Homo-oligomer: A and B are copies of this chain.
Amino acid sequence: MIDETGTVTVHGTVADGFEAVRAEFAAFVATERADYEGQLTAYVHGRRVVDLWAGQPDGDSLYGVFSSTKGAAHLVVARLVQDGVLELDREVAYYWPEFAAEGKGAVTLRELITHRAGLIGTDAGFTEEELADDRVIAERLATQRPFWRPGSAFGYHAFSIGALTGEVVRRATGRTLQEVYEERVRAPYGLDLFLGLPPEHERRFRTVLPMTPTPAQQAELDAVPRGPHTLSSIAFNNQVPDPGELTDFPNSPAVRASGQASAGGIASARGLAGMYAAAISMVDGRPPLLKPDTIAEVGQIHSLGFDLVARDRRAFGLGFQATAENLYPFLGAGTFGHSGAGGSQAFADPRSGLAYGYTRRRMAFPGGAAPENEGLVRAVHTAALAS
């Protein structure tokens, strides 16, 4: 049906002054395979200024956004902190007594949420079914000894952070993180960013397609040191006998239905950008979800340095990535967001008022935020500053 040379059309609209963003997106799409599908949306100060898509009729498709899910999950936590329901410097065990096992009694919510607790997985690993279920993950992690001394280092809790902070939410509110998200964030704004995809939206979901590395790229991927019991393997649940493909995680109906809070979110770029716009800006007459103090605190760099799981330098705020520090150093201090393994990227830059969302269907080399985000973010940010 499609051939290898792409002539994919870019659809959608940009506001005056954002024409260069469309040009950048079109230039990128022209370099992609003919089956490319992707979406780009941006807001500035609550106004939608970019809404583009390619490889699909109407920009209404939904994609697995993997770890961009963590942004939605931690917006819930940020809001509960703002409302006084959660206190960052309380011990996790105050909310969740079982968590105190194995020397974790002193670990605070702030340490947990900044990837410092060392609870990246369990000694035994999870079945695919278990990995779709935050309650099971949380229960197992409560009795797990940390994989490093809490406070001495940090590492990306790839599949566990949402279950851990989610369990704190559940203990404190009596409702799941997914329920609170739906009621307080998603439904009021009608966001296309689901933690738990309702059956009626299933038809909009596009299965994730696997990466198609070139031989040189494949060689690069193969050169990464691997072992079944490394910290990275434990964090990505690859220590089990027959680990599933990361690609297939959101392709599982159980994952989509549960909206696993670390990586099970399903979204469009409109949903991602819309959520970050709602977080920092007045949108459609509604006040921002977060107050200036909360915005400043979630974006404060808390963890900085060598990430024991990612095996590279990383920076985290409160559950969010410090996106400027990690990837786009021209963005404003305090930018907070989260990328996803499928290639998605999403963030808010409070100093420029920019909210950004990007999705794509096929996983991009080498994993994580797709490389095209670099040029797209730069184009959007430049236009936003001039607007």
Contacts and interface: CB of A to CB of B under 8 A. Distances in A.
Interface of A: 118, 145-149, 152-153, 225-231, 234, 293, 296-297, 300-306, 308, 311, 313, 324-325, 328-334, 349, 351-352, 381, 385
A305 B305 contact: yes
A313 B312 CA distance: 12
Contact of A308 (B118, B226, B302, B325): B325
Contact of A225 (B234, B330, B351): B330
Given A227-B330, A230-B324, A381-B227, A146 B300 contact: yes
Given A145-B293, A147-B334, A311-B329, A304 B225 contact: no
Count this chain's copies in the assembly. 3
A308 B330 CA distance: 13
A352 B308 contact: no
B293 A333 contact: no
Given A152-B303, A225-B328, 10 more contacts: A145-B297, A146-B300, A152-B300, A225-B330, A226-B330, A227-B332, A228-B332, A229-B351, A230-B331, A304-B308
Contacts of A234: 333
Main secondary structure of the interface of A (DSSP, over half): loop
Contacts of A332: 227-230
B228 A385 contact: yes
Contacts of A329: 225, 227, 230, 311
Nearest to A351: B229
B230 A333 contact: yes
A381 B229 CA distance: 11
A141 B227 CA distance: 41
Contacts of A153: 301, 304
A301 B152 contact: yes
Contacts of A313: 306
Indicate the member of A229, A300, A302 with the most B CB atoms within 10 Å.
Answer: A229
A114 to B, nearest CB: 8
A325 to B, nearest CB: 7
A40 B384 CA distance: 48
Contacts of A118: 300
Contacts of A333: 147, 229-231, 234
A334 B308 CA distance: 12
Nearest to A296: B145
A100 B306 CA distance: 31
A360 to B, nearest CB: 24
B304 A229 contact: no
Contacts of A148: 300-302, 304
